[in-house]
Structure 1
Amino acid sequence: MGRGEAMKKYMFIFLLTTIFFLSACGVGMLPSKDPWYAKHYFIMQDFEREAYKSLTPQGRLDFQKLFWEARQPVAKEQFDTRIAFIERVYKTENHTQPWNTDRARVYLLNGPPASIDYRQNNDWMTKAIMNSGQTGSRDVSDRSNEDIQANIAEVWVYPYEKYFVYYIFTFSPPSSWKLNPSTFQNNQYLQALENLNKDLTFGIVDLEDYKAKLEALPHKK
């Protein structure tokens, strides 16, 4: 392979990784002036985001009602439960919008991970297994050592079919955890996992009827 071809291949991989990172993360781009939109952004379908942005203020209020009417009641219950957890656990990262953080986004969409690993002193150690009850494990809600800078990476593990999907968060003082770009390297099932959880947990019951109702809402001129 020539130098030019190698450079093109490198740039393609870089751009692809960047696109995945921005589409899956996107925390910094959330509309912070619209709390409802920011809170629901990560579970919304693309067409819902586009529709919401095109509506008048009254249209957006009507949209917010239709959004949950189009889904099963259990979806709203699951959402409220996860948001309550996020507001309690991740408020140290964002006091006004704790759901507008990387770990909160992943938790809101995928629920609690099967396990959480920590990288400390260059060794990988499993420090937590959700609800395992094993010695040395702790629940994900226990953030007692969150400000210890020695824990430089936090890895959330989710099963997907016969595979595992890993989310890698890097600690950023004084109290933030950022999704590391390495999450998207050799992690080909990440997007499939998120799409699956979005459909299973927050799926729309009657898509065509829902779209028709959204189209009838008052739009901006």
Structure 2
Amino acid sequence: MKSKLSLFVLALIFLAVACGMNSLPSRDSWYAQHYFIMHDYEQNTYRQLTSAGRLEFQKLFWEARQPVAKQEFDNRLLAIQRLFKTENRNQPWNTDRARVYLLNGSPASIDYRQNTDWVTTMSPSSSGVSRGVDVNDRTNEDIQANTAEIWVYPYDKYFIYYIFTFSSPSSWKLDPATFQNNRYLQNLEELNKDLTFAVIDEEAYKAKLSALPHSK
């Protein structure tokens, strides 16, 4: 019974993520770029604002965070525009791999499945501890031999795995297997929201958001 319930919960999580990807606001490029690093209350507020209110929200969003957070976001977005434009030339950030990269940064390692073989790419530091993989080399991006990628992120004493499967000619989708035996995935994403893109004074920030002009 517990096993069936767990599978049901995992299925709901996958559907929620899939629906979230499909329902991204493609006509609002700012919202599409920031959607996955926003907290729920920010998403809910933004959708209820007038056009003028949304422009003010965009200013408040980064004023409420440290400058280093904005710098990190800009660096990741530039990398995404270069790395994943073959999937979505107009909005490369509106893809599964870009979402994970934008929120979590570069993975510690990537396993590539080429036909029936797996090849692991890691970037060891001088101390011998692995660090983020340099994913800048995408020369073999659309070669048919690459059928899947597994991105690995450390979390506490665990490892979080994101599985992407390739579909010709240039599409990579988050595989449902990502959510199996990956109980700390959501914890990792929430941690990165709270640390990498942390709000300095949440109470004061929420007060400013509530004062913005809302749609009737």
Please give the TM-score of this superposition, normalised by the length of structure 1.
0.89
- Distance (Å, rounded) in 2 between the aligned partners of 1:23 and 1:69: 30
Q: Does 1:172 align with 2:188?
A: no
What residue in structure 2 maps to residue 27 of structure 1? Answer: 21
What residue in structure 1 maps to residue 202 of structure 2? Answer: 207
Q: How much has 1:191 moved relative to structure 2?
A: 0.7
- Distance (Å, rounded) in 1 between the aligned partners of 2:26 and 2:86: 17
Structure 1 unaligned spans of 5+: 1-5
Question: Size of the alignment, in residue pairs?
Answer: 210
Q: How much has 1:151 moved relative to structure 2?
A: 1.4
What residue in structure 1 maps to residue 85 of structure 2? Answer: 91
| 1:39 alignment partner, one of 18, 22, 33 | 33
What residue in structure 2 maps to residue 162 of structure 1? Answer: 157
Please give the TM-score of this superposition, normalised by the length of structure 2.
0.91
What residue in structure 2 maps to residue 182 of structure 1? Answer: 177
What residue in structure 2 maps to residue 67 of structure 1? Answer: 61
- CA RMSD across the alignment: 1.9
8 Å contact kept, 1:113–1:156: yes
Q: Does 1:82 align with 2:76?
A: yes
Find the residue that maps to 2:165 and give its secondary structure.
Answer: strand
| 1:152 alignment partner, one of 147, 153, 169 | 147
8 Å contact kept, 1:93–1:101: yes
Letter of the structure 2 residue corresponding to residue 218 of structure 1: P
Listed one character per residue, the Cα deviations across residues 111-153 of structure 1 (whole Å, up to 9, x for unaligned) are 0000111112323221x213669xxxx8311111111122111
Letter of the structure 2 residue corresponding to residue 153 of structure 1: A
8 Å contact kept, 2:96–2:174: yes
Q: How much has 1:180 moved relative to structure 2?
A: 0.4
Letter of the structure 2 residue corresponding to residue 45 of structure 1: H
8 Å contact kept, 2:106–2:134: no
8 Å contact kept, 1:131–1:139: no
What residue in structure 2 maps to residue 3 of structure 1? Answer: none
Listed one character per residue, the Cα deviations across residues 50-97 of structure 1 (whole Å, up to 9, x for unaligned) are 000000000000000000001111110000000000001111100111
- Distance (Å, rounded) in 1 between the aligned partners of 2:15 and 2:40: 14
Show structure 1 runs of 4+ deviating over 4 A.
Answer: none
Identity of aligned residues (%): 67
Q: Which structure has the greater CA radius of gyration? A: 1
Find the residue that maps to 2:11 and give its secondary structure.
Answer: helix
